[in-house]
Structure 1
């Protein structure tokens, strides 16, 4: 099971550490945060103990209405489950009792100036990505007119050169050589780099180039949703036909089915242009348009 740490969460969102500074290496293994409202009133049947616990104004104000003894009881009942950490929102100050409990139990107590709604949305998004199942594959990832494309093929087939052509046409580069795929949902696959190769593109006969330095910030993006899997392969005589519509094919990555297209290479073929056409065609299909259906309709209308 993938995990991240409280330290990483704290650094990402610049959270203030109020207690438990020596326990920042505690693991986070669940992707959704939790507000322990019901637990403060004694209902623990469905308490998600492995989630980050967020304390907003409602939770803190409720605790302040309790007597000292009641407050100790309610907080103690939650702290004993040792969740990864507690985050107090909106910069709330009247929480010395929480600091004491968390320090004693070795649970990080963190604080943010952001509102409860804002920080929950941000942390949930961060944890979904950080804890997502992932797979590293050999290939190139580009964003063509807002559409994430994975380019695959044997080493030396021309993936990086094709990506370079697409960059010069105004599209965006994501990753070269090693593409990290993350499954964010049943039908959502994210493509990104592995940090080490970030912004770098390797071109045979030229060497390593920094895409951002050469073509500007707009030529690069950190990640993109993958919706097309395009395989570049050597030309094979008499293997391509001018069919009106090809039978759909798919590639499975982490249980997500991605439409697959094979493009055979031959001198003179505008491979980058074909990739642009494939991306635009996919987009039109999402809008419900089919060129084949329109073509057949025209033929029927003439009969």
Structure 2
């Protein structure tokens, strides 16, 4: 199971540490944070104790309206479960009572000046990506007109060269050689780089190039949602599908099925152009348009007339 530490969150969001500076190595394994509202009134049946606990104005103001004894009871009932940490938003200061409990239990207490809604949105987005199941595959990842594509094929088949052509056409490069895939949801697969190879593209006979320095910042992006899996393969006689509509095929990564296409290589074939066509065709299908169905409809109309 993937994990991060409270220190990672503290550094990422530049949080102020109020107590527990020596406990920032506590482990976080659950994506998304939790606001302990129902727990303050005694309902603990579904309390996600493994999550980061965020206290906004509502929670703090509620505690301030309670008597000292009630406040101790409400806070004590939560800290005894030892969540990874507490984060107070909007720079609230009347929390000395919470600080004491966190000190006693050794739980980090941090603070941010951001509003609760804005901070939780950023924190949850970070946690989902940081803790997402992931795998690495050999290939190239590009973004063609806003559509994330994974290019695969044997070493030396021309994946990087094809990506270079797409970059020169105005599309964006994401990763070369090692593509990291992250599962962000039941149907969402994210493609990114492994940090070490960030911005670098290896071209045979030329060598390593830095895409950003050579073609500008707009030629690169850190990540993209993968919606097409395209395999580049050697030309095979009589193997291409010339039907009006190609039978849908899929490749599965981390339990998510991605539409799969095979593009065979031969001198003279515009591989980059075919990939652009495949991306645009996928987009039109999402809008409910099928060129094959449109064509057959025209033929039927002509026959009827």
Please tell me the TM-score bracket, short chain as reference. Answer: over 0.9
Partner of 1:295: 295
Structure 1 gap ranges (5+): none
Q: TM-score, normalised by structure 1?
A: 0.98
Structure 2 gap ranges (5+): none
- 2:247, 2:38 → 1: CA distance? 53
Partner of 2:5: 5
Q: CA deviation at 1:36?
A: 0.8
- 1:302, 1:49 → 2: CA distance? 67
SS in structure 2 opposite 1:185? coil
Partner of 1:186: 186
Partner of 2:92: 92
Partner of 1:195: 195
Partner of 1:29: 29
Q: Which runs of 4+ in 1 moved over 3 A?
A: none
SS in structure 1 opposite 2:294? helix
- 2:269, 2:227 → 1: CA distance? 23
SS in structure 2 opposite 1:225? strand
Partner of 1:158: 158
- 2:144, 2:68 → 1: CA distance? 60
Partner of 2:263: 263
1:111 aligns with 2:97: no
Q: CA deviation at 1:69?
A: 2.5
- 1:140, 1:110 → 2: CA distance? 40
- 2:47, 2:298 → 1: CA distance? 61
- 1:196, 1:221 → 2: CA distance? 15
- 1:65, 1:238 → 2: CA distance? 79
Partner of 1:224: 224
Partner of 1:20: 20
Partner of 1:172: 172
Q: CA deviation at 1:68?
A: 2.2
Which 10-residue stretch deviates more, 212-221 or 36-45? 36-45
- 1:136, 1:242 → 2: CA distance? 33
Q: Deviations over 1:193-225 (max 9, x none)?
A: 011111110111111111111111100000000
Partner of 2:51: 51
Q: CA deviation at 1:13?
A: 1.2
SS in structure 2 opposite 1:138? strand
- 1:211, 1:88 → 2: CA distance? 41
- 1:247, 1:46 → 2: CA distance? 46
Q: TM-score, normalised by structure 2?
A: 0.98
Partner of 1:42: 42
Map 1:245-264; keep pairs closer than 5 Å. 245-264=245-264
- 1:37, 1:241 → 2: CA distance? 59
Q: Deviations over 1:10-29 (max 9, x none)?
A: 11111111111101111111
